[in-house]
C-alpha cells in the first residue's frame, strides 16, 4: 500500500484582485506532517504553487491514474473557489479571470467535475480531498444569486469509491482576511503533529477523528464557521496517520480542551495542577500545552467568551509551536476583491440593443497525440463549410476557424463565441475530428494535444469534455444554438474486449440544452466515421451541398431550417452508406431554427429537385430522361449545367454501387483462396461490411449468388446462416487452423458429392486437378455476371421498397411500432414512407403514451413488478403482500402469505404461476388465476432477493443474502440442488432464453454463469470492483447485461 499526496496552493491572483498570502505556508506545513516518518508516513508528497490550469489538471490526473487498488490518495487545495449561478464549483488559478460581463472564464479555472471524474476513474479505493477555500459567488449584477447559499460539495466533488471530502466552509459569504496560515489547515496540522486528533486513543488517526478535532477547535475560535465532511462507503474511517498511545501530553491537552468548551466552568487551576502532577508533566510543558489550546479562545470576542477564566489569569499565551509556520492565524483564507474589470469614471448612456447576428466557429482536428490516427480530411471539412457559410446569401456576420488547436485555445475560443452573444443571435459550433467515449461513458472532443496512455486510456486533461461545452452553451444568452458533430465517439479501449461499458449516456444528455439543436454524423456506437480519411467527409459534403445549392429547402419556402438540413443530409448519407444513421437531438420546437436562405423560383434548384425525384431508386429511366430533357429546354439551362447537376445528385447512388462491387470482388477473391472461409476471414468480412457502411440486406444477394456459383445445388443460405446472431462466425461449418497453420477441414454432410468438397488445399476431396481448375474458371466467369448483378439490384430495390412499405403498414396496423419504424427506415424516400416513419417513430418512442396508475390503500413502496405474458395482469409487491391488478379494469386482488417484505416476483411463461421471494427467507408459489398458495419453499437462511422461472416453466431459481442459489422443481416445490460460489449477497438472478444457463450477480463484484441442468459453474466474470445489482439476457441469448452499484451497465457478448 502506498500513501501519496498532492498539495496545491494558489495565492498570486491577477492584478485586479488582491493576492491570497499563506498558500506557501499552508502546503509547507501539510507536507512536513504528512511526510513525517512517525506521523503521516506518506511515501510521496508533491506540491504545486500557483500552477496554471493545464499543469494542475495533468498533475491531478497523474495522481489518481497511477494508483493501485489498496493505495491512499490525498488531494489538498488552498486558494479561491468559485460557485457560478448554476451552483457548479471551480477552483480558481492564478490566471483565472472574469470577462467584461463579470462572468467566469471557465477555461481559466479547474471544474470540480474534473476532480470527480479523476476520483471515479482511479483504481485507488481510499481517496481524500481537502478544500481549504471559500466558494464565493462569481455572479455580479447580471446574475441572480442562488436561492440556497450553501455549497453542494458532495454532488460536485465526492467520488464513488471509499472517498471522503473535508471542506473548510459550506457557506458562500466572505470570511475574515489574514496573511497567515489558515485556522483550518493549522488544526489539521496540529491534530496530526501532536496526536491530539486521536480522539479514541487507539494509536491511529481516522478521517472522522481528524475532522472532529479541527471542527471542535475552529468552533471555539469562530463559532460561525461550519466545517463539512462528506463520505462515500466507509470513507470517514480511512486511517490517515499514526498517533502515540497513552501519551501524557496528549491526555493533558484533551483535558484542557474539554474545560475550554465549558465556557468558564468551575474547573479550577488546582484541578489542572493535580492532573498535571498525576501525568508527570513539568510545569513549563503544561503551560505550553495550555497556550496552544487557548490560542483560538483568545481570538474570540469577549461577549462570546464570557468572564476571564482561572486558567487565563495564570497563563501567558505564546505563539503555537508549529514548524515553519508564521505566528498569527486566520479563521479562513483571505478573500481578494472580486475579479471585476476596471471601471471608467465617465458616465455613459446605455448601449442600444443591436440586431441579431449569425456567427459560427468551425474546429477541425486532423492530428492528435499518441493513440489517434491522423484525419487529414478534417481540414478539408473546415475549408468547405467556411466557404459556403461566408457566402453573402447565408448572412453570417462572422465565421471563425480553428485548425488543430491546443486545449486552452480551443476552450477559450468556444467560451468567447458563446459569451459574446445576445438572446436572438444564432451561434453555430462545428467540430470535425476524433471524439472519445471514456470507460464511464463520458464524451470528449480531441485537440492537437489529446493522447492516450500506454494502456489505451484517454488522458482526460488533454481533451475538451462535453460537460465544458454544455456549461458554456447553457450560460450563453443565445437561445438559438446549433452544434454539429462530424465525429464518431469511439471507446478508449480496443475492440476485442468482451465487456463494453454502455452506461446511461448519449449525445443529448451530455451536449443538449434549451434552445439548442445537435446534428451528429452518427450515433455514439456507430463506426461509420472510420471511413473519414484524406477526403471531405461524406456527412460534411452533403451538409455543404444542401446549403450551397439550396436543395436542403425541402418545402421550397426560401429558408433552410436545422431539421431540413438534417433530413436532407441523412437521406444522402444513407443512400451512400445505408448502415450509417445521422441523428438530430433537441426539442422539436427548436428544429425550426433558421440556418440559411435558399433561392426561390431558381431554375437550377427546380431541375435538381426533379432529378432527385427521378433518381429515387438509383438511376434515370427512359421516361425520366424524357421528362428531364423537356424540363431543361423549358428552363433554358445549358446541357453542361444539367449534366453536372445530375452527376451530383447521382453521386450517392454511384458510391453505393461501387461499394457493392468492391464487396463482391473481394468476396470472390477470398473464396478463390479458401473455401469454406475460416473464422478469422469471416470476422474480417463483417468488419469490411461495417467500414463500407452496408447492411446485411445490402450484401445478402451478392453472397447468395457467389455461393450458388461455387457450391452448385447446395443451399446459399448456409453461407449467411453460419454467422451467429451477434455477428460472430459459427464454429460448426468452418475449418480451423492449428498452431502449425495446417488446415483441418470439417467434413460436409453425409449426402455429399465430389463437387461439394470445396477446400482448395484438401486434395483428397477432389477427384482430379482438372475438376479444381474447372471450378475456378467457372468462378472467374461468374465474377463478371456478379458485377452485372449489382446493376440489377437497383431495379430490385424499387420492388423491395414497395414490399417494405406494405409490410410496415401492416405492422403499424398490428401496433408493432418498433418493427414498423425499422422497416420504414429502410424504405427509399417517399411521402408515404416519411409519414409512416414519423407516426411509427412517435409510437415506438412512447411519445403518445397515456399513464394509468395503480395504487393500494396503504401506498407502501413497490419493490418489484411483473406483467403477465398477454399483458392482462400486473403484479407488484407492497410490504409483505403481492398485489395483482387487472390492467383493463384496474381491479385489485391481494396475495397474503409472507410475513416480511417481498423483494422479488416472477411470472411463468404460460401466465399460470407466480413466484415471490421475501425477507422471511421463503419463496411462495401461487396460482395466478385463482390466487391459491401452491407451495411455500424453505431452505434459505437469509432474505430472498431474486427469483427467476425457466422458459419451460419447470425450474425456479432463487438468490439470497445467504450467498447461495437454490434450484427448485416449480410444479412440485422439490429442492433440486444448491449452488455455492459467491462470497457475498446475491442480488440478481436471470435464466437464458434457451433455459440452459443461469446468471447471478452479487456484491462480491462478480457475475457467475451456471449450467441450469447440472449446477456446474461455467464462468465467473469480474465487474471491476463494483457490486452487481441487476443481470439480464438478450432475447437471442448471445449477450448478457449487468448493472453495477456505480451506475455502469456492462454488456458481455459471446465471442
Q: What average pLDDT does this structure show over 882-887?
A: 88
Report the sign of the C-alpha dihedral through residues 962, 966, 968, 970, in that order: positive
The predicted-structure confidence for 548-575, as pLDDT tens digits, reads as follows: 999 999 888 889 999 999 999 998 888 8
pLDDT at residue number 722: 40
pLDDT at residue number 744: 37
pLDDT at residue number 947: 96
Question: Is residue 979 classed as helix, strand or coil in its secondary structure?
Answer: strand
Residue 521 clears pLDDT 50, i.e. is over it: yes
pLDDT at residue number 752: 36
pLDDT at residue number 530: 44
pLDDT at residue number 89: 84
pTM higher than the cut 0.75? no
List the one residue out of 30, 1, 13, 350 whose CA is nearest residue 185: 30
* d(C-alpha 968, C-alpha 656), whole Å: 56
Q: CB-side exposure of 576: number of CA atoms within 13 Å?
A: 20
Among 450-454, 482-486, 683-687, whose mean pLDDT is lowest?
683-687
Helices 248-261 and 207-221, packing angle to 10 deg: 50
Among 180-184, 263-267, 336-340, whose mean pLDDT is lowest?
336-340
CB 65 within 8 A of CB 120: no
pLDDT at residue number 546: 92
Report in angstroms the alpha-carbon separations of 137 from 14, 81, 780. Answer: 17, 9, 76
The predicted-structure confidence for 60-73, as pLDDT tens digits, reads as follows: 988 888 888 888 99
Q: What average pLDDT does this structure show over 356-381?
A: 91
Residue 231 CB coordination number (10 Å) = 20
CB 379 within 8 A of CB 57: no
Report in angstroms the alpha-carbon separations of 381 from 51, 92, 240, 543, 613. Answer: 36, 36, 54, 10, 28
What are the structural domains, with CATH classification, of the chain? 3-330 (3.40.50.1460), 358-599 (3.40.50.1460), 656-785 (no CATH), 814-844 (no CATH), 862-1053 (2.130.10.10)
- pLDDT-derived band at 681 (thresholds 50, 70, 90) equals confident
- pLDDT-derived band at 918 (thresholds 50, 70, 90) equals very high
Report in angstroms the alpha-carbon separations of 643 from 84, 543, 779. Answer: 58, 21, 38
pLDDT at residue number 342: 41
pLDDT at residue number 259: 58
Top-confidence residue, 994 or 278: 994
Q: What average pLDDT does this structure show over 613-630?
A: 79
Top-confidence residue, 898 or 727: 898
Top-confidence residue, 152 or 950: 950
Strands (E), 679-824: 736-737, 743-744
pLDDT at residue number 854: 72
Q: What average pLDDT does this structure show over 266-294?
A: 68
- pLDDT-derived band at 906 (thresholds 50, 70, 90) equals very high
pLDDT at residue number 976: 93
Top-confidence residue, 143 or 616: 616
Percent of residues, the chain, with pLDDT higher than 70: 71
Residue 794 clears pLDDT 60, i.e. is over it: no
Q: What average pLDDT does this structure show over 1-29?
A: 80
Residue 147 clears pLDDT 50, i.e. is over it: no
CB 258 within 8 A of CB 250: no
CB 326 within 8 A of CB 181: yes
Helix (H) or strand (E) holding 842: helix 831-844
- pLDDT-derived band at 142 (thresholds 50, 70, 90) equals very low
Top-confidence residue, 273 or 481: 481
Report in angstroms the alpha-carbon separations of 716 from 181, 550, 712, 713. Answer: 81, 46, 9, 9
The predicted-structure confidence for 744-774, as pLDDT tens digits, reads as follows: 333 333 333 333 333 333 443 444 455 555 5
Q: What average pLDDT does this structure show over 870-885?
A: 86
Q: What average pLDDT does this structure show over 440-456?
A: 88
Top-confidence residue, 676 or 483: 483
pLDDT at residue number 790: 53
Top-confidence residue, 488 or 1028: 1028
Amino acid at each position: 500500500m502506498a500513501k501519496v499526496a498532492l498539495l496545491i496552493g494558489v495565492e498570486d491572483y491577477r492584478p485586479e484582485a488582491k493576492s491570497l498570502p499563506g498558500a506557501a505556508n499552508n502546503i509547507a506545513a501539510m507536507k512536513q506532517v504528512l511526510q513525517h516518518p512517525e506521523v503521516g508516513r506518506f511515501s510521496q508528497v508533491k506540491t504545486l504553487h500557483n500552477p496554471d490550469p493545464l499543469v494542475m489538471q495533468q498533475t491531478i490526473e497523474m495522481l489518481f491514474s497511477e494508483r493501485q487498488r489498496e493505495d491512499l490518495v490525498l488531494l489538498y487545495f488552498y486558494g479561491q473557489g468559485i460557485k457560478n449561478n448554476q451552483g457548479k464549483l471551480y477552483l480558481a488559478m492564478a490566471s483565472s479571470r472574469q470577462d467584461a460581463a463579470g462572468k467566469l472564464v471557465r477555461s481559466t479555472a479547474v471544474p470540480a467535475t474534473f476532480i470527480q471524474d479523476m476520483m471515479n476513474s482511479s483504481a485507488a479505493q481510499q481517496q481524500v480531498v481537502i478544500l481549504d477555500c471559500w466558494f464565493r459567488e462569481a455572479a455580479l449584477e447580471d446574475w441572480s444569486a442562488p436561492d440556497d447559499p450553501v455549497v453542494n460539495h458532495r454532488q460536485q466533488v465526492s467520488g464513488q469509491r471509499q472517498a471522503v471530502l473535508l471542506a473548510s466552509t459550506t457557506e458562500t459569504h466572505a470570511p475574515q482576511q489574514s496573511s497567515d496560515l489558515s485556522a483550518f489547515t493549522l488544526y489539521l496540522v496540529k491534530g496530526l503533529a501532536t496526536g491530539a486528533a486521536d480522539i479514541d486513543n487507539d494509536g491511529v488517526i481516522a478521517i472522522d477523528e481528524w475532522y472532529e478535532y479541527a471542527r471542535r477547535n475552529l468552533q471555539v475560535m469562530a463559532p460561525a464557521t461550519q466545517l463539512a465532511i462528506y463520505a462515500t462507503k466507509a470513507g470517514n474511517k480511512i486511517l490517515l496517520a499514526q498517533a502515540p498511545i497513552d501519551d501524557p501530553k496528549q491526555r493533558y491537552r484533551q483535558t484542557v480542551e474539554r474545560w475550554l468548551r465549558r465556557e468558564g466552568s468551575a474547573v479550577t487551576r488546582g484541578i489542572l495542577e493535580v492532573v498535571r502532577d498525576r501525568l508527570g508533566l513539568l510545569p513549563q510543558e503544561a503551560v505550553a500545552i495550555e497556550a496552544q489550546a487557548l490560542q483560538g479562545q483568545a481570538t474570540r470576542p469577549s461577549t462570546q467568551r464570557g468572564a476571564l477564566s482561572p486558567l487565563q489569569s495564570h497563563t501567558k499565551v505564546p505563539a503555537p509551536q508549529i514548524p515553519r509556520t508564521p505566528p498569527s492565524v486566520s479563521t479562513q483564507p483571505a478573500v481578494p476583491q472580486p475579479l471585476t474589470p476596471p471601471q471608467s469614471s465617465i458616465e455613459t448612456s446605455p448601449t442600444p440593443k443591436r440586431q441579431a447576428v449569425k456567427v459560427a466557429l468551425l474546429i477541425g482536428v486532423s492530428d492528435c497525440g499518441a493513440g489517434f490516427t491522423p484525419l487529414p480530411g478534417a481540414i478539408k471539412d473546415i475549408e468547405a463549410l467556411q466557404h459556403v457559410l461566408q457566402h453573402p446569401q447565408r448572412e453570417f456576420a462572422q465565421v471563425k476557424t480553428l485548425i488543430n488547436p491546443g486545449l486552452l485555445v480551443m476552450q477559450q475560443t468556444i467560451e468567447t463565441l458563446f459569451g459574446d452573444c445576445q438572446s436572438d443571435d444564432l451561434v453555430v459550433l462545428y467540430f470535425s475530428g476524433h471524439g472519445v467515449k471514456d470507460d464511464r461513458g463520458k464524451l470528449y472532443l480531441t485537440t492537437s494535444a489529446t493522447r492516450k496512455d500506454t494502456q489505451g486510456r484517454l488522458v482526460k486533461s488533454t481533451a475538451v469534455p462535453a460537460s465544458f461545452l454544455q456549461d458554456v452553451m447553457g450560460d450563453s444568452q443565445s437561445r438559438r444554438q446549433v452544434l454539429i458533430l462530424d465525429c464518431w465517439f469511439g471507446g478508449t479501449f480496443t475492440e476485442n474486449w468482451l465487456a463494453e461499458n454502455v452506461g446511461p449516456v448519449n449525445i443529448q444528455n451530455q451536449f443538449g440544452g434549451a434552445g439548442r439543436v445537435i446534428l451528429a454524423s452518427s450515433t455514439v456506437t456507430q463506426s461509420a466515421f472510420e471511413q473519414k480519411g484524406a477526403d471531405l467527409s461524406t456527412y460534411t459534403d452533403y451538409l455543404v451541398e444542401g446549403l450551397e445549392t439550396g436543395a436542403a429547402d425541402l418545402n421550397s419556402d426560401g429558408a433552410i431550417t436545422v431539421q431540413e438540413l438534417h433530413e436532407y443530409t441523412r437521406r444522402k448519407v444513407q443512400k451512400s452508406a445505408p448502415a450509417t444513421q445521422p441523428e438530430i437531438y433537441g426539442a422539436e420546437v427548436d428544429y425550426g431554427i433558421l440556418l440559411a436562405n435558399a433561392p426561390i423560383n431558381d431554375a437550377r434548384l427546380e431541375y435538381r429537385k426533379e432529378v432527385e425525384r427521378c433518381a429515387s431508386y438509383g438511376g434515370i429511366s427512359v421516361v425520366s430522361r424524357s421528362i428531364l430533357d423537356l424540363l431543361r429546354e423549358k428552363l433554358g439551362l445549358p446541357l453542361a449545367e444539367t449534366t453536372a447537376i445530375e452527376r451530383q445528385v447521382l453521386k450517392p447512388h454511384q458510391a453505393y454501387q461501387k461499394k457493392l462491387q468492391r464487396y463482391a470482388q473481394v468476396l470472390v477473391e477470398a473464396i478463390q483462396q479458401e473455401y469454406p472461409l475460416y473464422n478469422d476471414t469471416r470476422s474480417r468480412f463483417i468488419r469490411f461490411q461495417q467500414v463500407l457502411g452496408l447492411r446485411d440486406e445490402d450484401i445478402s444477394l451478392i453472397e447468395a449468388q457467389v455461393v450458388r456459383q461455387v457450391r452448385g445445388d447446395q443451399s446459399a443460405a448456409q453461407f449467411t446462416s453460419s454467422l451467429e446472431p451477434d455477428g460472430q462466425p459459427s464454429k460448426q461449418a468452418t475449418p480451423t487452423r492449428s498452431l502449425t497453420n495446417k488446415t483441418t477441414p470439417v467434413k460436409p454432410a453425409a449426402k455429399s458429392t465430389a463437387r461439394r468438397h470445396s477446400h482448395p488445399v484438401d486434395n483428397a476431396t477432389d477427384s482430379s486437378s482438372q475438376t479444381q481448375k474447372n471450378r475456378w474458371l467457372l468462378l472467374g466467369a461468374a465474377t463478371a455476371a456478379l458485377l452485372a448483378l449489382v446493376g440489377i439490384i437497383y431495379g430490385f430495390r424499387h420492388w423491395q421498397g414497395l414490399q417494405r412499405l406494405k409490410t410496415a403498414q401492416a405492422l403499424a396496423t398490428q401496433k408493432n411500432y418498433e418493427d414498423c419504424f425499422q422497416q420504414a427506415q429502410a424504405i427509399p424516400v417517399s411521402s408515404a414512407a416519411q409519414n409512416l416513419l414519423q407516426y411509427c417513430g412517435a409510437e415506438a418512442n412512447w411519445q403518445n403514451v397515456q399513464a394509468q396508475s395503480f395504487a393500494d390503500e396503504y401506498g407502501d413502496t413497490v419493490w418489484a413488478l411483473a406483467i403477465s405474458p398477454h399483458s392482462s395482469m400486473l403484479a407488484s409487491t407492497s410490504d409483505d403482500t403481492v398485489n395483482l391488478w387487472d390492467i383493463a379494469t384496474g381491479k385489485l386482488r391481494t396475495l397474503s402469505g409472507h410475513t416480511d417484505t417481498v423483494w422479488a416476483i416472477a411470472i411463468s411463461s404460460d401466465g399460470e404461476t407466480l413466484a415471490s421471494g421475501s425477507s422471511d427467507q421463503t419463496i411462495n408459489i401461487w396460482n395466478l388465476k385463482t390466487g391459491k398458495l401452491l407451495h411455500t419453499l424453505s431452505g434459505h437462511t437469509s432474505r430472498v432477493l431474486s427469483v427467476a422461472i425457466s422458459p419451460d416453466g419447470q425450474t425456479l431459481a432463487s438468490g439470497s443474502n445467504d450467498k447461495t442459489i437454490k434450484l427448485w422443481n416449480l410444479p412440485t416445490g422439490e429442492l433440486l440442488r444448491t449452488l455455492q460460489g459467491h462470497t457475498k449477497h446475491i442480488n440478481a438472478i436471470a435464466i437464458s432464453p434457451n433455459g440452459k444457463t443461469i446468471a447471478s450477480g452479487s456484491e462480491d463484484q462478480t457475475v457467475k454463469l451456471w449450467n441450469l441442468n447440472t449446477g456446474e459453474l461455467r464462468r465467473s466474470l469480474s465487474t471491476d470492483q463494483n457490486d452487481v445489482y441487476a443481470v439480464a439476457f438478450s432475447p437471442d441469448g448471445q449477450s448478457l447485461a449487468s448493472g453495477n452499484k456505480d451506475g455502469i451497465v456492462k454488456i458481455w457478448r459471446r465471442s
